[in-house]
Structure 1
């Protein structure tokens, strides 16, 4: 989790240094205080505006009123906003202010409180009442939610002490493969609030010729996804070989899908390529005999199986590795 700590007074800056070292955070202080081992800035508002989306979380050592006014024009949605914490300059309290669940602010608040002996202030209803929110559940299971609105509605039912069930097939437990093609719900309720969450456990390996357009790569990927009835929301990352790190079509596709791109070196591939059927022609061209399969495997946690070993489409190879649900 990439963190930034912000301060606008000398005292807050000194406290930021103490906290920042242990959290391995970037520490921003005003240049006029000349605090060593910090990023010294001229203008707090301008710097925060430029850097707000560059971090997973922000810790402000100042009044909550200042923070609210400064971030009000920067925040967008709870599913993408970074975590925001506030600590008083006296070092008494740490407040989870924004993105408590999905952004991880609540968890970070407890971590900071325990590490520096501060009093944690958490105001989200589910946490205060000792219940789990749907967005927290989705995060813990490493899934993507179908709908923020449905998550809010279901969490409201949980907070209101209504019974909400997590339905899994009888032969499935957390930690095993929970993918199913259908679910039957037996209930005498006329209206049931339901939603689905997508496990992020698909690793896509891609190989292609130089200059392959984005549209062609997408066609190949789409055919494989449809073949196995897979959801794009469950793609955890896309992987390719280092020689394709600047492949514009692939870069454009990954950006459009908003997925992480992992670059695998040919040296890494050489360690595992013997496990796959390769091509001598490809080996002569780039130094390794195969790309999509070893890339998918090496970009995964190694705990799973291939759903698609190697799908070939117009010079493009797609491999899909499925990590077992519930394993990091």
Structure 2
């Protein structure tokens, strides 16, 4: 997780440097940049001239922000930078007296509440979390979505269902059979029959990110053709694009412009698998002499989908062909709460 730690006083700058050293040692996969004002000369930090300018430019470049300053300053500086709870980064606040750490923004989807608990434990601070679902010991819909590494279909409906949970109303969770409980339910289906005597029922959908697309294509394939192939493949199996975890391809295609543009347009990571790795599993799939002659392996879309996955799941589509483009669809089943 990339975290920016911001300060605007000499004392806070020294605290920030101290705290960053402790957090980097304890927080898993954390990268922390400490920002201090240049006039204080705090060594080992990123020294800046203009706090407002820097936070405006860098707010969306970090997954989390920790401010060691007054809450009023923080609120005024970030208020115009906020977009939506599903994309805003986590924002934490620590007082310069080294007493409290406050989860200020994006508590659930941004991970601020969880980060607050971790920071409090590492730095021996008192955590302040104010979201009603957390302080009442209940779980919010967006927290469930985050734990499933999934995407909320509708923020409004998620809010309405969470309000029912907080209010003590009964809310049922229908999950796929591989999620470890409610094993008699499988919602990866085309229809759902809900039996209830309630006239009004709030329903929201969580879309698990457990679909991997393996893609092979000819040189100079247009981005529009790749996007059409992806759309057609997903529509064929009634799959939501929101469920796609990433796209995968072979190393020889890592600079293929059409693929790179497609991944960027869909806001998905393009994972590149080496031909050496593919050779280890290509015997599991139907191969092509022509493909082997051209790039050195007998198959692309199926092995890259498999190798870039958890390898715990199944193929929904082994390989579909679309005018020189091949698409394979792999569904992971290791969704855990």
TM-score (norm 1): 0.94
Compute the RMSD of aligned alpha carbons. Answer: 1.8
Among residues 255, 259, 263, which one is paired with 1:250 in the alignment? 259
Answer yes or no: is the 8 Å Cα contact 2:211–2:332 preserved in 1.
Answer: yes
Aligned to 1:73, the other structure's residue is in SS state helix
Any residues of structure 2 matched to 1:144-163 within 5 Å, and which?
Answer: 144-163=151-170
- 1 CA distance for matches of 2:275 and 2:178? 37
Moved over 4 A (4+): none
CA distances 1:72-102 after superposition (whole Å, capped 9, x unpaired): 1111110100000011112110000000000
Alpha-carbon shift at residue 32 of structure 1 (Å): 2.1
Among residues 65, 74, 78, which one is paired with 1:71 in the alignment? 78
- 2 CA distance for matches of 1:221 and 1:238? 10
- 2 CA distance for matches of 1:98 and 1:81? 8
Any residues of structure 2 matched to 1:225-236 within 5 Å, and which?
Answer: 225-236=234-245
Among residues 295, 298, 302, which one is paired with 2:304 in the alignment? 295
Matched, 1:48 2:55: yes
CA distances 1:222-274 after superposition (whole Å, capped 9, x unpaired): 22212222111111111112222222222222222222221222333233323
Q: What is aligned with 1:174?
A: 179
Of stretches 80-89 and 244-253 in structure 1, the one that deviates more from structure 2 is 244-253
- 2 CA distance for matches of 1:44 and 1:216? 45
Answer yes or no: is the 8 Å Cα contact 1:264–1:298 preserved in 2.
Answer: yes
Q: What is aligned with 1:3?
A: 3
Answer yes or no: is the 8 Å Cα contact 1:303–1:327 preserved in 2.
Answer: no
Residues 29, 265 of structure 1: alpha-carbon distance in 2 compared, 3 angstrom cutoff: farther
Q: Which consecutive unaligned segments of at least 5 residues does structure 1 have?
A: none
Alpha-carbon shift at residue 327 of structure 1 (Å): 4.6
Q: What is aligned with 2:274?
A: 265
Q: What is aligned with 2:28?
A: none
Alpha-carbon shift at residue 108 of structure 1 (Å): 0.3
Alpha-carbon shift at residue 302 of structure 1 (Å): 1.3
Matched, 1:200 2:205: no
Of stretches 212-221 and 64-73 in structure 1, the one that deviates more from structure 2 is 212-221
TM-score (norm 2): 0.92
Q: Which consecutive unaligned segments of at least 5 residues does structure 2 have?
A: 25-30
Among residues 143, 147, 156, which one is paired with 1:136 in the alignment? 143
CA distances 1:199-221 after superposition (whole Å, capped 9, x unpaired): 11000011101111122112222
Aligned to 2:34, the other structure's residue is in SS state strand
Corresponding pairs, count: 326
- 1 CA distance for matches of 2:32 and 2:145? 27
Answer yes or no: is the 8 Å Cα contact 1:178–1:325 preserved in 2.
Answer: no
- 1 CA distance for matches of 2:233 and 2:306? 17
- 2 CA distance for matches of 1:17 and 1:71? 22
Q: What is aligned with 1:116?
A: 123
Residues 270, 34 of structure 1: alpha-carbon distance in 2 compared, 3 angstrom cutoff: farther
Aligned to 2:134, the other structure's residue is in SS state helix
Among residues 84, 88, 96, which one is paired with 2:91 in the alignment? 84
- 2 CA distance for matches of 1:15 and 1:311? 57
